[in-house]
Each structure stands twice: as structure tokens, then as C-alpha cells.
Amino acid sequence: MIWYAFSLPIIAYGAWKVKKKIDEDPSSKTLIAVAGAFIFVLSALKIPSVTGSCSHPTGTGIAVVLFGPVVTAFLSAIVLLYQALLLAHGGITTLGANTASMGVIGPFFGWIAYKLVKNRTSLVTSTFIATVIADWVTYVVTSFQLAAAFPSGAGISGVIKSAIVFGEIFAVTQIPLAIIEGIVAALLIRYLVQAKPEIVGVGVSA
């Protein structure tokens, strides 16, 4: 329940931001839909990892760059709820934790990375960086979430040891997977810039 309590206010704020943006610019619905579809398609790609676990891209990089982290949280929550109810991907009991890691914390750090580099490099390159960071941070957080549920010993040291183990497991697939996701996101943003040049200046604050 703690993850639901953490995520829900951010999701609600993200929903308000989406409504406000659409009210101000109805044409933004297209880009919002593209960002949401990118999250859905990539996060649905479950790839077997070691010890029976699985990894998948998060797809949040495009939304982070176009609309900021709180809108990304809202879109991610919708995607994760749909996947939990209809695709047996995750579940309601883990929805809060999944939303916190993939929809809130990962994108927030991806957004920070984007803000730090966007004036020093191209939109394509900064999108790649934001996407990779959002993905990696998501799985660092996931490792600690799993470690808190399955510590290897008593106290904080047991959680840290377990988190390291989970992190090493995820790293086998997630490090290269995040790089591939970053390339795909960069190619998509380049296409969007070519199709809609007015998005070059996007990247909003939360």
C-alpha cells in the first residue's frame, strides 16, 4: 500500500496536466497518444532473464522528453493497469510498486538527465540519454523493491545484499536492453521532429 500512496498523488497531478494541455492545445492529443502507445508496446515486450526472471523495456523516454515526468506517470499507470487486468503482466497487488518504479522514479531521473544535457546536445541525443537513464533507474528501484520483500538477512544490510543480487540479475539483460530502447526512442523522436518540427523546443517542467 505504501507504493500506492506514493504514486497516486503524482498520477492524479499527471492526469490534471494532461487535461490542461489538451484544453490549451487539442492537437497535443496526437503526441500524447504516441507517447502512451510507445510505453505500451515496449513495456509489453517481456524478455526472459536469468534465474527465471524477466526484463522488458519501459518505453517512458519519449513521454519524459515530450511532456515531463508527471504526465509520464499518468500514462504509465494507464498502461500498467491495462496490462495487469487484460494481459496478465504484473498484477493489481504489484501495480503500485510497478507504477512507482517504471512510471514515477525512473522517469523522474530520466527527466533530470534530459534537463542536464538538452542544451549541450541535440534533441535526438538527449532523448537517448533520458531513455537509458529512466530504464536503468527503474530497474535499480525494482531491485530494492524486491529486496525489501525478499531480504537476504535481517536489517538494512540484508536488504542491500539482496538488492545487489537482484540488480546483478537484471543487469544481464537490462543494460543492453536500455541502450537498444534508447536508440529506438532517439529514432522515433527524430522522425517526430521531421514530421512535426514544432516539437523541437519541447520538454516541460513538472
Alpha carbons 154 and 70: distance in angstroms, whole number:
35
**What per-residue confidence (pLDDT) applies to 75?**
96
In this prediction, the residues of the chain whose per-residue pLDDT falls under 70 are 48-54, 87-91, 93, 198-206
Cβ neighbors of 160 (< 8 A, separation 6 or more) are 147
**What per-residue confidence (pLDDT) applies to 88?**
60
Alpha carbons 11 and 8: distance in angstroms, whole number:
5
Q: What is the pTM of this model?
A: 0.87
**What per-residue confidence (pLDDT) applies to 131?**
95
CATH (residue range 2-21+29-197): 1.10.1760.20
DSSP string, 38-93: HHHHHHT--EE-GGG-EE-----HHHHHHH-HHHHHHHHHHHHHHHHHHS-SS-HH
**What per-residue confidence (pLDDT) applies to 95?**
82
Alpha carbons 1 and 139: distance in angstroms, whole number:
20
**What per-residue confidence (pLDDT) applies to 87?**
67
**What per-residue confidence (pLDDT) applies to 162?**
87
**What per-residue confidence (pLDDT) applies to 199?**
63
